[in-house]
Amino acid sequence: MLTAAGLRAATVTGVRRLVLLTAGHVVAPDDPDGALHGNRRYAGSLPGMAAHPLLDDLRAALGDAAVLTDPDLLAGHARDEADLCDSGTPLAVVRPRDTDEVVAVVRAAGRHGVPVVPQGARTGLAGAANAVTGAVVVSTVAMDAVREIDPVGRIAVVQPGVVNAALARAVRERGLWYPPDPGSWESSTIGGNVATNAGGMCCVKYGVTSEYVLGLEVVLASGEVLRTGRRTAKGVAGYDLTRLFVGSEGTLGVITEVTVALRPAPEESLTLVAVFPTVAAAGGAVAGIAERGLTPSLLELLDRTHLRAIEAYRPMGLRTDAEALLLAAVDTGARAADDLARLSEVCIAAGADEVYAATDATEAAALLQARRLAHPAMERFAAETFPGGNGGLVIDDVAVPRGRLAELLDGVARIAQACQVPIGVVGHAGDGNMHPNIVVDRADPGSLARGRRAFDEIMRLGLDLGGTCTGEHGVGLLKRDWLAREIGPVGVRVHQAIKAALDPAGLLNPGKMF
């Protein structure tokens, strides 16, 4: 493994040649753009895939039942939930059951020069798990064992296919808590959460996935098994390889085991809702909350578009006349009531029309559930906005310094008006991490173009405000150009150098991220 990178060629599926460049780029010979902008999607007809000799190797190693080539099934594994992203048709989907089987798959694919695309539950929103035509998709869903829960060490050891909610419930039974809670938590896998460094609503106080990953087992492009990190609370032995793999979107290795840190089960929390006459006023309240040194355990913003979409999707008496709503929670035990009062003061000072506390846990849970419905509710809203069900949703993700949140919200409103597309805004206001959701008519090229323009203008605004092009959804295929703009040419070269060092043939999830 880890041989010096060099120019080499590999035949993929016997149809076209991919030229593998030193930096892990995979470009079709007729796609010079790929050499400049990274690894472009390989697309083409693929006669004869069913007879690819790699399939025999895979079946020999995993058994027939774990190697899927049914066209419907392949199509079902073509993509994650991101819009605006291309995807290809894989040669096969394999479902290894353990690390040895992953090693066998990666080694076999390497021998045949075939790309490998890891997939969890395909709930990602950046196309990072999208299939590459002719690749082997490694689905980790059959690797779903919770191997260990240690209440004293406050760690759990799990296979990558364990669903976030399943881990959360398993540790809760032991009085422990796994905080990262992406919107997809009921279906997304820990492996996918780690590969994308997933965020969620708890992050504002408790941090994102990478804060909870202590160690990993990873199958490298060479087929070697790397163990990173530790089981201890602290450790500084060597480079932080664990965090290099967290968020690397499957481009550096296939994660086969995860050791996570846990916390004691959270205390009871109190929840507050503040209703604002403008989204910018809500943004101002977020800055005020930070400035006052308050640390809510949840601080979410929903704009009017989302409030209406959620109320239409599941009526629950939300204030659909409000321009924006802030949902906050505090969980500092005996101090909670004091903290809630201080939050309330800040919201009123920032211009809130009305502030009320949830009367009990049931009401608080209902408010949280409303927030969790934002995504499906907006998808329904988008679908119904245009005739024939052609409405689609481009889910964006941008983070700015908390103090610039009001400017971001104002700017998104301006962009919506200028581009003549509906944009609703929802997100983790306490982190300055918002999801402007752009409604487009998939059947109308003009609408798609305006949506794309709005998307780009939001990205540009985010960077101009000192922010980042992705707060939690990742780069995948959706934001490669924006990543390059954010990190600059030196940053891109360092990414390419690390990729080439660990995956010299560029076979691991090619074309993603950069």
Total of chain residues touching a copy of itself, rule CB under 8 A: 100
- Write the DSSP string, 99-114: HHHHHHHHHHHHHHT-
For position 248 contacting a copy of itself by CB under 8 A, the verdict is yes
For position 486 contacting a copy of itself by CB under 8 A, the verdict is yes
What is the enclosing helix (H) or strand (E) of 316?
none
Whether the Cβ atoms of residue 138 and residue 158 lie closer than 8 Å to each other: no
- Site residues (CB under 8 A) for a copy of itself, limited to 117-176: 150-155, 175-176
Shortest Å distance, C-beta 158 to a copy of itself: 17
Pick the binder of a copy of itself from 31, 98, 186, 240 (CB under 8 A). Answer: 240
Site string for a copy of itself, 322-361 (x = CB under 8 A): ----------xxxx--x-----------------------
Q: Which residue's CB is nearer to a copy of itself, number 44 or number 153? A: 153
Whether the Cβ atoms of residue 88 and residue 49 lie closer than 8 Å to each other: no
For position 321 contacting a copy of itself by CB under 8 A, the verdict is no
Region binding a copy of itself by CB under 8 A among candidate stretches 71-79, 99-107, 341-349, 427-435: 427-435
Residues 6 or more apart from 464 whose CB is under 8 A from it? none
φ/ψ bin of 340: left (φ > 0), alpha (ψ from -120 to 50), beta (otherwise):
alpha
For position 297 contacting a copy of itself by CB under 8 A, the verdict is no
Pick the binder of a copy of itself from 30, 45, 72, 238 (CB under 8 A). Answer: 238
- Helix, strand and coil percent figures for the chain, each rounded to 5: 40, 20, 40
Whether the Cβ atoms of residue 477 and residue 82 lie closer than 8 Å to each other: yes
Region binding a copy of itself by CB under 8 A among candidate stretches 179-187, 286-294, 343-351, 365-373: 286-294
For position 230 contacting a copy of itself by CB under 8 A, the verdict is yes
Question: What are residue 8's DSSP bridge partners?
Answer: 20
Pick the binder of a copy of itself from 70, 100, 291, 321 (CB under 8 A). Answer: 291
Whether the Cβ atoms of residue 433 and residue 471 lie closer than 8 Å to each other: yes
For position 65 contacting a copy of itself by CB under 8 A, the verdict is no
- Site residues (CB under 8 A) for a copy of itself, limited to 379-418: 399-403
In terms of C-beta density within 10 A (0-12 exposed, 13-18 middle, 19 or more buried), how is residue 401 classed? middle
- Site residues (CB under 8 A) for a copy of itself, limited to 436-475: 466-475
For position 259 contacting a copy of itself by CB under 8 A, the verdict is no
Pick the binder of a copy of itself from 211, 311, 345, 456 (CB under 8 A). Answer: 211
For position 257 contacting a copy of itself by CB under 8 A, the verdict is no
Tell me how many degrees the CA angle 178-173-147 measures, rounded to the nearest 5. Answer: 70
Give the CA dihedral 179, 182, 184, 189, nearest 10 degrees.
Answer: -60
For position 99 contacting a copy of itself by CB under 8 A, the verdict is no
- Spatial distance between the Cα atoms of 200 and 12, rounded to a whole number of angstroms: 38
Pick the binder of a copy of itself from 142, 165, 226, 366 (CB under 8 A). Answer: 226
Pick the binder of a copy of itself from 294, 347, 426, 439 (CB under 8 A). Answer: 294
Q: Which two tokens stand for residue 505?
A: 């043939």
Of 210, 105, 240, 214, the residue nearest 155 (C-alpha)? 214
Region binding a copy of itself by CB under 8 A among candidate stretches 178-186, 369-377, 380-388, 428-436: 428-436
Whether the Cβ atoms of residue 511 and residue 39 lie closer than 8 Å to each other: yes
For position 220 contacting a copy of itself by CB under 8 A, the verdict is yes
Of 470, 499, 475, 450, the residue nearest 85 (C-alpha)? 475
Q: Which residue's CB is nearer to a copy of itself, number 74 or number 502? A: 502
Backbone φ and ψ for 468, nearest 5 degrees, come out as -125, 155
For position 183 contacting a copy of itself by CB under 8 A, the verdict is no
Pick the binder of a copy of itself from 12, 66, 204, 309 (CB under 8 A). Answer: 204
Q: Can you say how many angstroms the Cα of residue 372 is from the centroid of all Cα atoms in its chain?
A: 16
Shortest Å distance, C-beta 351 to a copy of itself: 17
For position 246 contacting a copy of itself by CB under 8 A, the verdict is yes
For position 487 contacting a copy of itself by CB under 8 A, the verdict is yes
Shortest Å distance, C-beta 309 to a copy of itself: 24
For position 488 contacting a copy of itself by CB under 8 A, the verdict is yes
- Write the DSSP string, 335-348: GHHHHHHHHHHHHH
Shortest Å distance, C-beta 203 to a copy of itself: 6
For position 114 contacting a copy of itself by CB under 8 A, the verdict is no
For position 477 contacting a copy of itself by CB under 8 A, the verdict is no
By three-state DSSP, how is residue 45 classified? coil
For position 197 contacting a copy of itself by CB under 8 A, the verdict is yes
Tell me, what amino acid is at 180? P
- Spatial distance between the Cα atoms of 112 and 14, rounded to a whole number of angstroms: 10
Of 16, 60, 64, the residue nearest 41 (C-alpha)? 16
Shortest Å distance, C-beta 48 to a copy of itself: 35
Tell me, what amino acid is at 256? T
